[in-house]
Amino acid sequence: MRKRKLYKILIDILVILLGNACIAIAVAFFVIPNKLLVGGTAGIAVAVNAFLGIPEEIVINVLVYTLFIAGAIVLGKEFFFKTVTSTIVYPILLTLSNDLYEIIPKQYVTMDTLTSIICAGVLVGFGIGIVYKRNASTGGMDIIPLIINKYTHIPLHILLMAVDCFTVLLGVIAYGLQASIYGVISVVLCSFVIDKTILLGAKQTKQLQIISQESDLIRTEILEDLDRGCTIVESRGGYTNEKRDMLMVVVPINQYQTLIDAVHSIDPSAFVIVSDINEIRGRGFTIQREHL
């Protein structure tokens, strides 16, 4: 048990290092050289550089350490342990990435603005996503919404959006509307990649809600031919007021069409609602029957 715990801690640290390395490379190779107004500390640093001329790396380091101290004081030890690794390694990795950028011939790393936005958004999104998957944090500007949320209970996603909007507003003042629009594109792309990265390895499935006069025959098809379970939900028609069983079933993607064909062959007038499920855990999916 102790070896397993130590192994998990080691994997967590390695993943956090990889995630922060991705973010540092994105900032050093794409954000700072192209003055991209992305979200987070990098976007603030680019805007501050335009106003005050302070190097972006210095602004980022000051923000990272200051916000970490504030978060540790206000949010407690759980936040401290989840964020301390990123706070220590990110400024170091950013400095190393900047040094590497200076060494590499510019013809190999210079890109147009749109390509740089795509590269930055993907790298930052992937870096944040894999850190989040280890139940850790990259710190930075995420700390401000967490602190405000603790005292005001304003939904976190609204606060995160407000921070990003503040970054974009600074960008409009510093670099104009076009640069800020590029920044919005980067933020949206980054959010998309974070979401997809968190779901890496998840078993994507389909959920079907089936209402039919032949629910018993369809249930038999699900249980015997597809070897899947289902839930029977008592329902009542809003127009007819008739009581009828609704079958709720979750199947892997490769069984979806088979089930749809079976339902329509049994009852062509069956009412079927289909939803995408990003992840499901439990018997028949993440737990094999023979292990129960």
SS3 letters across the chain? CHHHHHHHHHHHHHHHHHHHHHHHHHHHHHHHHHCCCCCHHHHHHHHHHHHHCCCHHHHHHHHHHHHHHHHHHHHCHHHHHHHHHHHHHHHHHHHHHHHHHHHCCHHHCCCCHHHHHHHHHHHHHHHHHHHHHCCCCCCHHHHHHHHHHHHHCCCHHHHHHHHHHHHHHHHHHHHCHHHHHHHHHHHHHHHHHHHHHHCCCCCCEEEEEEECCCHHHHHHHHHHHCCCCCEEEEEECCCCCCEEEEEEEEEEHHHHHHHHHHHHHHCCCCEEEEEEECCCCCECCCECHHHC
Q: What is the reported pLDDT for 291?
A: 46
Q: What is the reported pLDDT for 290?
A: 44
How deeply is 252 buried, as exposed, middle or buried, from its count of CB atoms within 10 A (0-12, 13-18, 19+)? middle
**What angle (nearest 5°) sits at the alpha carbon of residue 283, between those of residues 280 and 286?**
55
Q: What is the reported pLDDT for 288?
A: 52
**What angle (nearest 5°) sits at the alpha carbon of residue 220, between those of residues 217 and 222?**
115
Residues 209-227: pLDDT tens digits? 999 888 889 988 888 888 8
Q: What is the reported pLDDT for 292?
A: 44
Tell me the sheet residues that pair with 128.
Answer: none
Q: What is the reported pLDDT for 282?
A: 61
Low-confidence residues of the chain: pLDDT under 70: 1, 156-157, 201-203, 278-292
What CATH architecture applies to the domain 205-291? Answer: 2-Layer Sandwich (3.30)
* Residue-range domain boundaries for the chain: 2-198, 205-291
The full length of the chain comes to 292
Q: What is the reported pLDDT for 21?
A: 92
Q: What is the reported pLDDT for 47?
A: 81
Q: What is the reported pLDDT for 59?
A: 87
Q: What is the reported pLDDT for 4?
A: 75
